[in-house]
Amino acid sequence: MRKIDLIVIHCSATREDSPLSPLELDRMHRQRGFNGCGYHYYVRRDGQICSMRPVERIGAHAKGFNEHSIGICYEGGLDRKGRPADTRTERQRYSLRALVKVLRKDYPEVKKVCGHRDLSPDLNGNGTIEPEEWLKQCPCFDVATRL
């Protein structure tokens, strides 16, 4: 079993009015050259938690962090006009919190739960990843305060 000390939250970067099935998500990742979906879990708008990749397998979701992390993606992240936004439904919020709680119990060595954007490089070296340093908006909400 691999050592897991990080959980990374992502969004699918799809519009809130455009559904993305787990099969379509898997297909998108295969088209990018991945061996299946890079996330371990996918949370649908209705709150359904889909297992996408066994946790025992290294993910393909956060370059440089995959070896020791679990990747969770929620469906959405863009508003109806295609702009980054926290589009999580109440059911998604509940399922995300519940999934993270279970995973932290199953993997007590997890020290940090963060958003993908929070793994961007600290360009000014002040110890904080500020919005101007984000490589992307994902997951389009502040995991530290809004999970």
- State residue 41's pLDDT score: 98
Q: Is the confidence at residue 1, as pLDDT, over 80?
A: no
**Domains in the chain, CATH or no CATH each:** 6-146 (3.40.80.10)
Instruction: Please compute the mean of the pLDDT values over residues 53-61 and round it to a whole number.
Output: 97
C-alpha distances in angstroms, 13 versus 30, 111, 128?
17, 26, 24
Instruction: Please compute the mean of the pLDDT values over residues 79-101 and round it to a whole number.
Output: 98
- State residue 131's pLDDT score: 87
**Percent of the chain topping pLDDT 90:** 90
Instruction: Please compute the mean of the pLDDT values over residues 40-57 and round it to a whole number.
Output: 98
Q: Which residue has the higher pLDDT, 93 or 123?
A: 93
Instruction: Please compute the mean of the pLDDT values over residues 29-54 and round it to a whole number.
Output: 97
pTM of this prediction?
Answer: 0.95
